Amino acid sequence: MLSKLSLITESTPARVSFAEAMSTLASGVVVVTSRRDGRPWGSTVTAFASVSADPPTVLVSLCTNGSAGRAIAATRQFGVSILAEEQLAVALYASAPGKPKFLEAFAEPDASSATPVVAGALAHLDCDVVETVDVADHTIFFGRVRAASATDAGAPLVYHRRRYRALAADPATERSTTCLMS
């Protein structure tokens, strides 16, 4: 049963209610990559979504004044590495607040991608920024996918209720479907 809905105002309790409500949405975990001072840089985000299949377009939401947001605004390109369940160390490293997130220890050294690729990721997308929208303290970057690669093996790392999780396999309910919107 849902608890009583709270109106969201400037008050702290409403913001806490909002954060708690949003934590119930399970999200895939990605590292948004860019180059900073010529080095691979990445930030862990769950605010990532597919926008369109034709042309292939995605969005990511990043803090406007953060290092990743500034680097992407300057270069007008970004990568998205979709993390596998065994990549918790990468997710934690690239989400540490206030710390540098240079990815040399996690990036593929000879990737043919235009943007840094997290080694072992389930998929990677190279994107050119086609539009930005500033909302509150974040910038939403819309990226046209220039190149994409994926592996057939592995399961995703998931974030739910402020914890990283892995999916439990249930062969009885697993089935392949096609999303009509993508």
pLDDT in tens, 144-171: 999 999 999 899 999 888 888 888 776 6
Q: Is the peptide bond before 156 cis (omega within 30 degrees of 0)?
A: no
* CA proximity to 68, closest of 57, 78, 59, 56: 78
pLDDT at residue number 60: 97
Query: How many degrees, rounded to 5, is the angle at CA 90 between CA 84 and CA 92?
Result: 115
Percent of the residues in the chain that have a pLDDT greater than 90, as a whole number: 58
5-20 burial code (b ≥16 CB/10 A, e <16): eeeeeeeeeeeebeee
**CA gap 121, 108 in Å, rounded:** 10
| Residue 119 reports pLDDT greater than 70 | yes
Confidence band of 101 (pLDDT split at 50, 70, 90) = very high
93-112 burial code (b ≥16 CB/10 A, e <16): bbbeeeeebbbeebbbeebe
**CA gap 44, 56 in Å, rounded:** 22
| Residue 132 reports pLDDT greater than 90 | yes
**CA gap 62, 83 in Å, rounded:** 18
Fold of 28-152: Pnp Oxidase; Chain A (2.30.110)
Q: Sheet containing 27-28: give its strands across.
A: 27-28, 157-160, 163-166
Going from N- to C-terminal start, the domains of the chain cover 28-152
pLDDT at residue number 176: 54
41 with 34: CB under 8 angstroms?
Answer: yes
Percent of the residues in the chain that have a pLDDT greater than 70, as a whole number: 84
For the record, the structure tokens of 2 come out as 């849902």
